[in-house]
Amino acid sequence: GNSVTQMEGPVTLSEEAFLTINCTYTATGYPSLFWYVQYPGEGLQLLLKATKADDKGSNKGFEATYRKETTSFHLEKGSVQVSDSAVYFCALSDQGGGSYIPTFGRGTSLIVHP
Amino acid sequence: NAGVTQTPKFQVLKTGQSMTLQCAQDMNHNSMYWYRQDPGMGLRLIYYSASEGTTDKGEVPNGYNVSRLNKREFSLRLESAAPSQTSVYFCASSEPRLAGVKETQYFGPGTRLLVL
C-alpha cells in the first residue's frame, strides 16, 4: 500500500534560518505529491504540489522537488519567518487503482523563534 | 465562495450521547472526506464519498456513520459517543479528477469534540 514518512518534530529554528523537512513515500502507481500547512486552530491548506517526476512546486518561498529516483519530496525554505510556525504535512494522491484516497504523513511541527 | 464549512466549531458530549457533524462545500467538488486528527497520529480517514450517492469506509470507521445528503453536504454521525472519540474532526473536498490532474484537498476549519 501507499505510505508517507516525514521527519518527526518539532523542528525549532531561529528567524532567517534555512529549513528542510524531509519526506519520503511509497506508492504503487505514479502519484502526485503535496505539502499542506496547518496554522494553529485552523484546517489544512495546500502549500505546494508537484504532479510528475522532476517537477518543482513552489509557493511563499517554499520549494519541493519530486524525486522519483529517491522517492522523496523534501520541503525547503531559504529564510524562515516567525509567521511560518505551523505544522507541515506531506501527502500523496495516487492515480493507480483509481483510488480517491490521499495518504498523509504524520506532520512536522515547525517553531520559529525571533 | 465560503469553501468548506463545518458546524459546530466546538462540542462537549457525555458518553453515550449522539451528535451529527455537518459539512458543506460550495466548490462543486465530487469527492468529500471526513478525517480525525489526534496528537502524534496525523490525519486518519474515517469515511469518504467519491461522488454523490456513494460512501466508503476509511481507516477508522468504527463508531461512525455518514450521509452524503447531496453533492454539497456530507455529514458524520456519532451514534453513541465514547471518550476515545475525543478529537478534532476535519471535513475536506477535492477537485474532480481530470486527465493529468490529481486531487488537491480543501479542508474545513474543524470541529473540536470532547467526550466526557
Q: Are the beta carbons of B101 and A89 separated by less than 8 Å?
A: no
Separation in Å, CA of B79 to nearest CA in chain A: 25
Which of these, B113, B116, B108, lies nearest to B23 by C-alpha position? B108
Each residue's pLDDT tens digit, B9-59 = 999 999 999 999 999 999 988 889 999 999 878 899 999 998 888 899 998
Each residue's pLDDT tens digit, A37-93 = 999 989 999 999 998 899 999 999 999 999 999 999 999 999 999 999 999 999 998
pLDDT > 90? residue B64: yes
In the structure, what pLDDT confidence band is assigned to residue B61 with cuts at 50, 70 and 90? very high
Closest residue in B to A42 (Cα) is: B109
Closest residue in B to A37 (Cα) is: B107
What value does the mean pLDDT take over residues B91-99? 77
pLDDT > 60? residue A99: no
Q: Give, in order, the Cα–Cα distances in Å from A13 to each of A1, A10, A79, A80, A109.
A: 34, 10, 10, 8, 11
The grid cell for B101 is 490532474
Q: What is the rounded distance in angstroms from the CA atom of residue A81 to the CA atom of residue A15?
A: 5
From chain A residues 37-56, the ones with a CB under 8 A of any chain B CB are: 42-46, 49, 51
Q: Are the beta carbons of B100 and A45 separated by less than 8 Å?
A: no
CB contacts of B108 in chain A (<8 Å) are: 43
Task: Write down the number of H helices and E strands in chain A.
Answer: 0, 12
